[in-house]
Amino acid sequence: MSAPALSPRRTPSATPTAPQKRPFSLRRWFRDTGWRHLVALVLVVFAVFPLLYVLSASLNPGGSLVGSNSLFTTIDFSNYVDLFGNPSQPYGQWFVNTLVIGLTTAVLTVFMGAMAAYAFSRMRFTGRRMGLLSLMLVQMFPQFLAFVSIFLLLSSIGDVFPAIGLGTRLGMIMVYLGGALGVNTYLMYGYFSTVPVSIDEAAKIDGAGHARIFFTMILRLVAPILAVVGLLSFIATTGEYVIASVVLTDPSTQTLAVGLYQYVSQAFSNNWAIFSAGAVLAAVPVMVVFLLLQKYIVGGLTAGSVK
Near another protein by CB under 8 A: residue from 103, 106, 153, 203: 153
User: What's the DSSP call for residue 295?
Assistant: I
Cβ–Cβ < 8 Å for 188, 226 = yes
Give the count of alpha carbons within 13 A of 169, CB side only.
Answer: 20
Of 20-28, 76-84, 223-231, which segment contacts another protein by CB under 8 A?
A: 223-231
User: What's the DSSP call for residue 144?
Assistant: G
Residue 131's identity, in one-letter code, is G
Q: Interface with another protein includes 201 (CB under 8 A)?
A: yes
For the chain, how far is it from start to end, CA to CA, in angstroms? 8
Cβ–Cβ < 8 Å for 191, 229 = no
Nearer to another protein, 81 or 264 (CB): 264
- Phi then psi for residue 183, to 5 deg, are -55, -40
Nearer to another protein, 59 or 279 (CB): 279
Q: Interface with another protein includes 82 (CB under 8 A)?
A: no
Q: Interface with another protein includes 26 (CB under 8 A)?
A: no
Q: How far is the CB of 75 from another protein (least distance, A)?
A: 18
Residues numbered 286 to 305 that lie near another protein (CB under 8 A) are 286-287, 290-291, 294, 297-298, 301
Near another protein by CB under 8 A: residue from 59, 103, 203, 228: 228
Q: How far is the CB of 303 from another protein (least distance, A)?
A: 12
Residues numbered 245 to 264 that lie near another protein (CB under 8 A) are 245-246, 249-251, 256-258, 260-262, 264
- For every residue of 159-226, which 3-state class applies, written as one string? HHCHHHCCCCHHHHHHHHHCCCCCHHHHHHHHHHCCCCHHHHHHHHHCCCCHHHHHHHHHHHHCHHHH
Of 20-28, 76-84, 228-236, which segment contacts another protein by CB under 8 A?
A: 228-236
Residues numbered 229 to 248 that lie near another protein (CB under 8 A) are 231-232, 235, 238-239, 241, 245-246
Q: How far is the CB of 29 from another protein (least distance, A)?
A: 10
Near another protein by CB under 8 A: residue from 3, 25, 30, 43: 43
Instruction: For residue 117, give the nearest of 184, 204, 200 by alpha carbon.
Output: 184
**Helix, strand counts (H, E) of the chain:** 16, 0
Residues numbered 104 to 143 that lie near another protein (CB under 8 A) are 111-113, 115-116, 118-129, 131-133, 135-143
Q: How far is the CB of 2 from another protein (least distance, A)?
A: 16
Binding mask 157-196 for another protein (x = CB under 8 A): --xxx----x-------xx-xxxxxxx-xxx--xxxxxxx
- Phi then psi for residue 97, to 5 deg, are -55, -45
Query: What number of chain residues touch another protein (CB under 8 A)?
Result: 153
Q: How far apart are CA 287 and CA 293, in angstroms?
A: 10
Q: How far is the CB of 147 from another protein (least distance, A)?
A: 8
Alpha helices in 59-141 (DSSP H): 78-83, 91-122, 128-138
Nearer to another protein, 27 or 144 (CB): 144
